[in-house]
Chain A
């Protein structure tokens, strides 16, 4: 019997990696930040995260039932969206608002466009943007972390709010406090350390590359250095680390090419600094990523790699 020769087109080598594995890695990477959130905000954080984790797959399942689509809960993408959204919410947010946010994120942000892989915008950020527009008061009520012996919630301003509104009576946290997470803010934007652990895990697992986070953070650092404002403060406050490592690197809504990813990161950083310094909001990570998401198809088109031997980048059919 002669040897079997199997002819097939590439790819010839396949890994076991699939969508659930990628999503599982993202969930693992978000665990430190979630634990930090629960540590700093206790019951408030737990409540919000649980609501989001329950309602995200539920919304996905119901919308897919109604639209008669294939059930995709087991690819875990809904869980990731729910967890990411939970980490962008303020701790004292009423649970029903969080639930609406998750439903909006899954249905309006993803299902309406055709499901995972078709959404032009990051679903979690769509949910957050809608919530900010709907309930601006609830979405911008912040409390101090409850790690101290005082267990009741004390309303306060976020570090970026203090700078933007020039609130003199509030004390700005030190850089170390910002890094470890002892400050007011959304659930996931408190502890830079926990977020960095997750980000490094994703980089180590090669689920994301350095291009988007580094160019994003780099532009923020460089522009604040050039404008002579506190570089570390700009890097550590707000949702910047969360956005740069977990939101902007979303496969579906970021460019495919390395060059395109760097452009994407640069634009995100510029938009963020513009909104922070010149815009009406204290923080602009959410909107800047959403705005630059719109440019992703264009960036992809402009950075198509040149084929070997081809004369021009585009119109190679001619």
Chain B
């Protein structure tokens, strides 16, 4: 609780985007990132679903944190997350059946997505509702940016273009196969580490 007083609300919001980017820095939620980032359409759909669940569960967990017994907190988190995932799943099925069909099992699997339970445990459980809301929004934006960039790269090189537009005649098939996902994500992680490290050395020399 003391931590939240020192940090400004900007830090809570920005943490999930760059410094604590769920996929590239914290390396959580890699499984859905790899599986769903084959096309941009799927990636955007997935990040909307994750954003809904992450913000909802962060709000709920921080709202009930004062009377959540710590030995029972994980099952309680899971129940909270399950509720939001079920809502998201049915909303998708009702309003966007194609997207729901394409994402398939990965929507129900948001329940066990490390990003959501990780933020609930590491942040929302010990912080105020407002900070948790900001953290959830920041994390969602971070996840959205990363998965969209990965999907953009993979779909462009692996499929030859975005959506219906095909630019490359002979696309590199590997990019829409699992190895392409690993290569893209590894390269982005390397760039992110380089960027963060350079920022750190610059700050220490100043």
Contacts and interface: CB of A to CB of B under 8 A. Distances in A.
A135 B183 contact: no
B177 interface: yes
A112 B190 contact: yes
User: Most B CB atoms within 10 A — which of A108, A112, A133?
Assistant: A133
A112 B188 CA distance: 12
Interface string A193-237: 000000000000000000000000000000000000000000000
B170 interface: yes
B172 interface: yes
A59 B165 CA distance: 30
Interface in B152-169: none
B183 A133 contact: no
Contacts of A133: 173-174, 177, 179
A24 interface: no
Contact of A130 (B174, B186, B187, B190): B174
Interface string B178-193: 0100010011001000
A194 B186 CA distance: 40
A136 interface: yes
B201 to A, nearest CB: 14
Chain A: interface secondary structure?
helix
A130 B175 CA distance: 10
A134 B172 CA distance: 4
Contacts, number: 20
Contacts of B183: 108
B169 to A, nearest CB: 11
Contacts of A138: 170
Contacts of B190: 112
A291 B138 CA distance: 40
Nearest to B179: A133
A107 B173 CA distance: 19
B154 to A, nearest CB: 13
Interface in A131-146: 133-136, 138
Contacts of A134: 172-175
Contacts of A130: 174, 179
A112 B187 CA distance: 9
B156 to A, nearest CB: 14
Nearest to B170: A135
Interface string B34-72: 000000000000000000000000000000000000000
Given A112-B186, A130-B174, A133-B173, 17 more contacts: A100-B172, A108-B183, A112-B187, A112-B190, A130-B179, A133-B174, A133-B177, A133-B179, A134-B172, A134-B173, A134-B174, A134-B175, A135-B170, A135-B172, A135-B173, A136-B173, A138-B170
Interface of A: 100, 108, 112, 130, 133-136, 138
13 contacts: A108-B183, A112-B187, A112-B190, A130-B174, A133-B173, A133-B174, A134-B174, A134-B175, A135-B170, A135-B172, A135-B173, A136-B173, A138-B170
